[in-house]
Amino acid sequence: MLRLGRTAYAEILAHCWAGLPLEACGLLGGTTTGPAATDDADATICYPTANLAESARVYTVDPKGHLRADRDAERRGLTLIGVFHSHTHTAAYPSPTDVAQAPDPTWHYVLVSLADDAPVVRSYRIVEGNIAEESVVLLSR
């Protein structure tokens, strides 16, 4: 399960909309109960990053933004627990590219679909090419 802070949730959506017509991406800071695919995480901080690919079809998290996010999370006693990105015209489900390039089996992969009027936010664990959706619950703050 991914428990998502309301502020972080709002910032994820704002960053994805602001990025249109391109895909937008960023990292999530928080805490996790452990590294296994069955472990839960609280994502309380959203770190919007530039999409270096500047594309409507692919994204690359700006490494400089990644380094800054990693340092900030450490200062707060948190870790980076996942990444989010938008799909501008397709469903909120990991693409073959997402699966092939998922770097970290301990991470939570949040997908935001902007294909319809209302955004759809879903979260997945991707371990050795296997996709498992997990529930997303909003925290009170």
Partner 1 sequence: MPEVRIPTMLRPAVGGAATVEADGATVGEIVGQLVARYPDLAGQVVTEDGTLHRFVNVYVNDDDIRYLSKLDTKVGEGDTVSILPAVAGGAV
Find the shortest distance in angstroms from Cβ 124 to partner 1. 11
Residues 54 and 115: beta-carbon distance below 8 Å = no
Pairing type for strands 41-49 and 25-32 reads antiparallel
Instruction: Fill in the DSSP letter of residue 52.
Output: T
Find the shortest distance in angstroms from Cβ 63 to partner 1. 4
Find the shortest distance in angstroms from Cβ 107 to partner 1. 7
| Closer to partner 1 by Cβ: residue 1 or 53 | 53
| Closer to partner 1 by Cβ: residue 21 or 140 | 21
Residues 65 and 50: beta-carbon distance below 8 Å = yes
| Closer to partner 1 by Cβ: residue 58 or 139 | 58
DSSP letters, 94-122, are --HHHHHH---TTSEEEEEE-SSSS-EEE
| Closer to partner 1 by Cβ: residue 105 or 135 | 105
| Closer to partner 1 by Cβ: residue 91 or 138 | 91
The angle at the Cα of 61, spanning 120 to 44, to the nearest 5 degrees, equals 55
If one counts every other C-beta atom within 10 angstroms of the C-beta of residue 125, the result is: 22
Find the shortest distance in angstroms from Cβ 141 to partner 1. 25
Backbone angles phi and psi of 23, in degrees to 5: -70, 145
Find the shortest distance in angstroms from Cβ 15 to partner 1. 15
Footprint of partner 1 on this chain (CB under 8 A)?
23, 25, 27, 35, 53, 55-61, 63-64, 66-67, 70, 74, 79-80, 83, 85, 87-90, 94-98, 101-107
